[in-house]
Amino acid sequence: MTGGVPGLAEELADWLEGLGLADQLAAAGLPTYARDGDAVRWTEPATGEPLDDERLVELDRLLRSQGEDPAYAVPLALVRLRRESRVRQELLDGGWLDYAGVAQLRGVSTNAARFAVHKAAERRTLLVVGHEGAVLVPSFQLDEAGEVRTELLTVLEPLLVSVDPWRAWIWLTTPAALLGGAVPHEAARDPEELPVVQRAAVALAERSRSAQG
């Protein structure tokens, strides 16, 4: 990074594009930019006002604050958002049921399934995810009869208290560091591993509460 403000707007945009992270700025609540010919114009997320030089330098410092060498640091929050965005799309491509799908598994009417889903969600015994006005029931948590897998009940309860439903879905269905790379909902099938998954779920919920507080 060269010192000073001149050229910083373009440098910062080029750097983020090179990392493939430019599309995650808005999701992170950070300033975004638009290219106008050779110029790059950065604007504040809440007001749409252009960033002044001081704010641009502050943003550059924030994004490069990870790691010991700012020249090679990577904004980890944006990396996480990019990963979550990719995983969310994969989850949306399959692996969920609507009310009709739950009704078919359970052999009940769609209205009965809708009522049961909402009641279970209120009791924190079923993970339900909202998406574009629709209600999605991730299928990994259901058995062949459409009921919540018994071993997952004590895993879901702490998560659904404080963890965002999307994040809970992602955590339960992808390799988790707290479990040595095992997929939580799969590991929970093993009675010996279930207590470990339960503790990991509680730890994730506690971290989420701390972040919210």
Report which secondary-structure segment, H or E, holds 42: strand 39-43
Domain boundary among 91, 126, 147: 91
Would you say residue 2 has pLDDT above 70?
A: no
pLDDT value for 69: 46
pLDDT value for 3: 42
71, 147: one domain? no
Would you say residue 72 has pLDDT above 60?
A: no
82, 19: one domain? yes
Highest mean pLDDT among 2-11, 48-57, 80-89, 155-164: 155-164
Q: pLDDT of 157-211, one tens digit each?
A: 999 999 989 889 989 998 887 788 899 999 999 999 999 999 999 999 998 887 6
Q: What is the mean pLDDT of residues 55-60?
A: 83
pLDDT value for 211: 66
Separation CA 7–CA 18 (nearest Å): 16
125: buried, middle or exposed (CB in 10 Å: 19+, 13-18, 0-12)?
middle
Q: How many Cβ atoms are within 10 Å of 178's Cβ, its own excluded?
A: 16
Total domains present in the chain:
2
72, 113: one domain? no
53, 85: one domain? yes
Range of the domain at 159: 94-212
Do the Cβ atoms of 141 and 148 come closer than 8 Å?
A: yes
87, 131: one domain? no
143, 38: one domain? no
pLDDT value for 132: 83
